[in-house]
Amino acid sequence: MSKARPKPRQILLSKRANIFYLEHARVLQKDERIVWLTESGEDVEQYFNLPERNTALLLLGKGTSITDAAMRRLAESNVLVGFCGSGGSPLFASADPVFLTPQSEYRPTEYMQAWVRLWSNEAHRLELAKALIAERIALTAKTWGKNGELLQKRIALPPSAADTLHRRAVAVPDTQGLLLAEAEWARALYAALSSGYGLSFTRQEGAGARGTKEERVNAFLDHGNYIAYGLAAVALNGLGISYAFPLLHGKTRRGALVFDVADLIKDAYVMPLAFECGADPRTKDNTFRARLIETLQDADALDFLFGFVKQLAEKQL
């Protein structure tokens, strides 16, 4: 009797290199591998390998399907799978991607237990939210200060915006005050980028139109933000922390903690690249996605999210 072949070792979620977005494709298991193919009309079908043990996130867009065998193997490899609209974001502003969370009983419990202990205390929850805001400011300042494209166009993080958000974050007595301060911060960043690229920009989530440069920026922001949401979901899922215990956003939305964690990298990485690519009419959706994924990988963004969320969960207050 032949011995069962041992399964290859998985790569830590925080160190995985791949994020895939597929549309008009079929995903299936073939010869102990996950593969995908598109309808090409050729007599011989061509399969493309999807290295699931080195993949953190798989987004399935329009016209995609996946077999139960492939889904089971992806779950065994702890790959997060999301169904989404065209380009990696929902077709409608009110629709969220449906993430299929791998149901593995061998998952860490200590981070979830620590998170719940802190989250249950309103004062501690506010302190966690303030720590998240402080890290968001620091990362954005650091990243923008090293961004060659922004430096060339003399676009800098407005010091007054960072100072104001930091000062108000320290002083506000509740999360509503933090949300108002955060909204002013976002408007200041949009204004700085809009001025630097010579645009008259207004943020419109889920608009879908892409005729003007401003509309293209909005579309790229939508696409990029959902990649950030995917990475945040990977980090929280990997640590065993429920999405239903947010610090700032959506007290009535079950997945709101994903939005909180994703904010750490949206301002720093997604926003500048969306303006750069949106201002250039030659940039296609797949080019923007490829550049954003490469930027996030080069910055070890997923590793950073794992580390920071662990640090918050272990915070002594």
Q: How far is CA 213 from CA 156, 179, 279, in A?
A: 21, 28, 5
pLDDT at 8: 56
Q: Percent of the chain beyond pLDDT 90?
A: 51
| 118 and 250 assigned to the same domain | yes
Residue-wise pLDDT tens digits, 43-66: 656 889 999 889 988 988 888 899
d(CA 1, CA 12): 33
Structural domain includes residue 196: yes
CB atoms closer than 10 angstroms to residue 69 = 12
Residue 283 DSSP label: -
Total domains in the fold of the chain: 2
pLDDT average, residue stretch 13-38: 88
Distance CA 52, CA 56 (A): 8
Beta bridge pairs of residue 99: 82
Give the domain CATH number at 266.
1.20.120.920
Residue 248 lies in a domain: yes
Query: Is residue 220 in some structural domain?
Result: yes
User: What is the rounded average pLDDT of the residues 28-51?
Assistant: 82
Cβ contact 289:1 at 8 Å: no
Rounded Cα gap, residues 297 and 302, in angstroms: 8
Structural element, H or E, at residue 289: helix 285-298
Rounded Cα–Cα distance for residues 96 and 93 (Å): 8
Return d(Cα 87, Cα 78) in angstroms, integer.
23
User: What is the mean pLDDT of the segment spanning 202-220?
Assistant: 86
Q: Looking at the domain assignment, is residue 291 inside a domain? A: yes
Q: Is the pLDDT of residue 10 over 90?
A: no
Average confidence (pLDDT) over 190-199: 95
Distance CA 138, CA 49 (A): 39
**CATH at 75:** 3.100.10.20
Q: What is the pLDDT of residue 287?
A: 93
Residue 95: domain span: 13-30+48-100
* Pair 254, 309 in one domain: yes
| pLDDT surpasses 80 at 89 | no
Average pLDDT over residues 137-156: 94
pTM: 0.82
In a domain? residue 133: yes
Number of C-beta neighbours around residue 61 at 10 A: 20
CA-based diameter of the chain, in Å?
Answer: 72
69 and 145, same domain (yes or no):
no
278 in the same domain as 140: yes
Would residue 245 count as lying in a domain? yes
Residues 136 and 270 placed together within one structural domain of the fold? yes
Based on the fold, state whether residues 188 and 88 are members of the same structural domain: no
